[in-house]
Amino acid sequence: MKITCNAGGLTLKNPTILAAGVLGTTGASLKRIASMGAGAVVTKSIGTEPKPGHHNPSMIRLEEGYINAMGLPNPSFGEFRQELEIARESGVPVIASIFGATPEEFTAVANGLPGADAYELNVSCPHAKGYGMQCGTDPELVRSITKAVKAAVKVPVWVKLTPNVTDIRPIGLAAQEGGADAVVAINTLKAMAIDINTGWPILGNRSGGLSGPAVKPVAIKCVYDLYEVLDIPVIGVGGVSNWADAIEFMMAGACAVEIGSAVYEDIGTFASVSMGISNYLDRKNMKLDEIIGLAHRVV
């Protein structure tokens, strides 16, 4: 079955997208991920100034996922421009993940990083003071950041949301009001791990964000809730490791999925997820569109 799709204003050859993260730090790695079958790739989040990130250890592996506190390390938009150009040689859409503390900062990064096929506004990092979810838990700020970037660029704007709220729907609605072309749910869940031998939190920043299979049910519920209230597409992310996870996200309402943690284990994930979706649709004799939001039907 054909699995080309339209995700938030972009046409993709398949509905699998590299999620923002360390694999999107260079043009070369983005190209490599694209060559392994991703339908699109998202860069590491980029800001106005070079940022070294938090102290090591900045990422730990658990049985059910990872906790990271990278701290938005990036070379700034000026330095990243060349990486974006290299990534664009991949032939798949390249989405620039950008962050800031104000609408003006977001706009400065978007303007300073031209050529992206879309921008993903990171208003949801759980452990970056002044950035991330400090913006993304305030609906008014989410609306004004989205509106400002939307007015500054001519390509689609996606907004990546935090699950660290009681109700994700008002934030999704604020992004929609600001003119977003899609929302992306979810960023990582606030988390911590403590070394019981030393009695210290393990991460250099103490607190971090949980990703991987452990967060999938939280992400599914967020996508489900957003799909119910929004008119714009929802892109699912959080613990997708195989094709069945992707189908589950689509049934919750996602038009495409982003994959992050699973790629650290297997760079072939994009191809196997795409193949699995296609085979599933063949077996069920269904089209991709027919499974999106299927879990919302009433008897």
Q: What is the DSSP letter of 38?
A: -
- Residues 6 or more apart in contact with residue 56 via CB below 8 angstroms: 204
Q: Contact region for ligand DOR (CB under 6 A) — 121-129, 178-186, 240-248, 267-275?
A: 121-129
> Does 187 interact with ligand DOR (rule: CB under 6 A)?
yes
Instruction: For residues 30 and 111, give the distance between their C-alpha atoms in angstroms, rounded to a whole number.
Output: 21
42 is a contact residue toward ligand DOR (CB under 6 A): no
Of the residues 137, 188, 241, 261, which one makes contact with ligand DOR according to CB under 6 A: 188
Using rule CB under 6 A, residue 137 touches ligand DOR: no
> Are 212 and 231 contacting, i.e. CB atoms less than 8 angstroms apart?
no
How far is Cα 218 from Cα 239, in angstroms, rounded to an integer?
Answer: 10
Half-sphere exposure of 160 (CA within 13 A, CB side): 31
Instruction: Provide the minimum distance between the beta carbon of 239 and ligand DOR in the complex, in angstroms, as a whole number.
Output: 13
* 25 lines the binding site for ligand DOR (CB under 6 A): no
Interacting residues of 189 by C-beta distance below 8 A, sequence separation 6+: 126, 163, 164, 209, 210, 215, 218
| Residues in region 63-82 near ligand DOR by CB under 6 A | 68-72
Looking at the Cβ atoms of 3 and 240, the one nearer to ligand DOR is 240
From the CB of 57, what's the least distance to ligand DOR, in Å? 13
In the bound state with ligand DOR, the residue whose beta carbon lies nearer, of 47 and 156, is 47
Stretch that binds ligand DOR, among 62-70, 143-151, 213-221, 279-287 (CB under 6 A): 62-70
Catalytic one of 125, 135, 222, 255? 125
Does the annotation mark 125 as catalytic?
A: yes
Can you give the length of the chain in residues? 299
CB nearer to ligand DOR: give 163 or 178. Answer: 163
Biggest CA–CA distance in the chain, Å, is 56
With beta carbons less than 8 A apart as the criterion, state whether 175 and 159 touch.
yes
Min dist CB 62 to ligand DOR, Å, is: 14
Size of the site for ligand DOR (CB under 6 A): 13
CB of 283 to ligand DOR, least distance (A): 35
Indicate whether 24 belongs to the interface with ligand DOR (CB under 6 A): no
Residue of the chain from 14, 16, 43, 45 that contacts ligand DOR (CB under 6 A): 45
In this structure, the number of other CB atoms found within 10 A of the CB of residue 142 comes to 29
Q: Kindly list the strands in the beta sheet with 59-62, ordered across the sheet, starting from the edge strand earlier in the chain.
A: 59-62, 65-68, 207-211, 189-192
- What is the H or E stretch that residue 110 is in? helix 103-112
CB burial of residue 197 (10 Å; 0-12, 13-18, 19+): exposed
Taking the complex as a whole, how short is the minimal distance between the CB of residue 71 and ligand DOR, in angstroms? 5
Residues 155-184 contacting ligand DOR, CB under 6 A: none
Interaction site with ligand DOR (CB under 6 A): 45, 68-72, 122, 124-125, 132, 187-188, 209
Please give the positions annotated as active site: 125
